[in-house]
Amino acid sequence: MEQSIQINADFIEQETNFGELVELLREGFATREYVIPQRSHHNFPNPKTNKESTLLMMPAWNPGKEAGVKVVTVNPGNGDLGLPAIQGSYLYLDATTGVLRAVMEAKSLTAKRTAATSALASSFLSRTDASSMLMIGTGALSVNLIRAHGTVRPIEQVFVWGRNLGKAEMIAKELTNKNFNVIPVSTIEEKISGVDIVSCATLSAKPLIHGDMLVPGQHIDLVGAFKPNMRESDNAVMARASIYLDSLESGLEESGDIAIPIQENVIESSDIQGDLFNMCSAAVSGRKSNEEITLFKSVGHALEDLVAAKYYYSKYRK
């Protein structure tokens, strides 16, 4: 019997080509072969950090081909312990025999597939000439989001904001040799109205992006705030923007960016323009004009994990 393999973070980092991964995700969202059960979401107390942790289990399968499940914890207090907030593993299986093909480091896999998914959405929703970007947040996702957006749009100028300016400076230094001019900034307000794409990946419980900051033609990419009581944007943002999700089924319930404005009657679920499934299958077109403000809210989807796991497994076997 074939032995299962271990795929670590270093391999995932070295072997990622965002252009390739974006196109595989485009194919995955367009097909109807995948079966995606609702993910299991459990919150539990964490007395040592005094910040609630979350256990996520995300299964998916392509009958007769491959299957997998991601087991992840999100621990907001890990920053104080010198550890990444996201911890976990991905189990990649043969869908016919159930044999475990590989165990993959889930934090890196999640970061890559999440960034590639945002870039996929941007290919439908941002202006084709978008050349500037504000990255809000300095966690593991930030560098990946910048690189991924740069594969689908001609990004030249990137501004980075974080609560710790030193971390923003480190990101600018890390991307020095890339095709971007990366500049750390001390406030969101000083640059947000002057960029084409705003990407936000934080664990903020309160809005960081406000509707009166936005200008026509922008694309807003919301990646953090994965709980119903967390949000990165205020009601005015939602009222101004054309809203799209990675998945209508989970996105309406799991993120405060969507759930709270619906509860407060700022928007209705019928105001959501579409998701990646109907954009990738050409049932929905995406951006309609250069003046439109578009918004993509990502909550994560198990299809993304399975597509990425198959991608890295194939690369490892080669």
* Residue-level pLDDT at 1: 55
Tell me the mean pLDDT in the region 183-212.
Answer: 94
| Distance, CA of 271 to CA of 295 (rounded, Å) | 12
pLDDT in tens, 84-109: 787 899 999 999 999 999 999 998 99
Quickly state the pLDDT bin for 39 (edges 50, 70, 90): confident
pLDDT in tens, 118-171: 999 999 999 999 999 999 999 889 999 999 999 999 999 999 999 989 999 999
Read off the pTM.
Answer: 0.91
Integer angstrom CA distances of residue 116 from 58, 134, 172, 237, 257: 18, 17, 20, 24, 21
Domain boundaries defined on the chain: 5-109+303-317, 121-300
Please check whether residue 191 is in contact with residue 159, taking contact to mean a CB–CB distance below 8 angstroms: yes
* Residue-level pLDDT at 216: 97
CATH fold group of domain 5-109+303-317:
ornithine cyclodeaminase, domain 1 (3.30.1780)
Return the CATH architecture of domain 121-300.
3-Layer(aba) Sandwich (3.40)
* Residue-level pLDDT at 56: 87
For all residues of the chain together, what is the average pLDDT?
Answer: 92
Tell me the mean pLDDT in the region 204-223.
Answer: 94
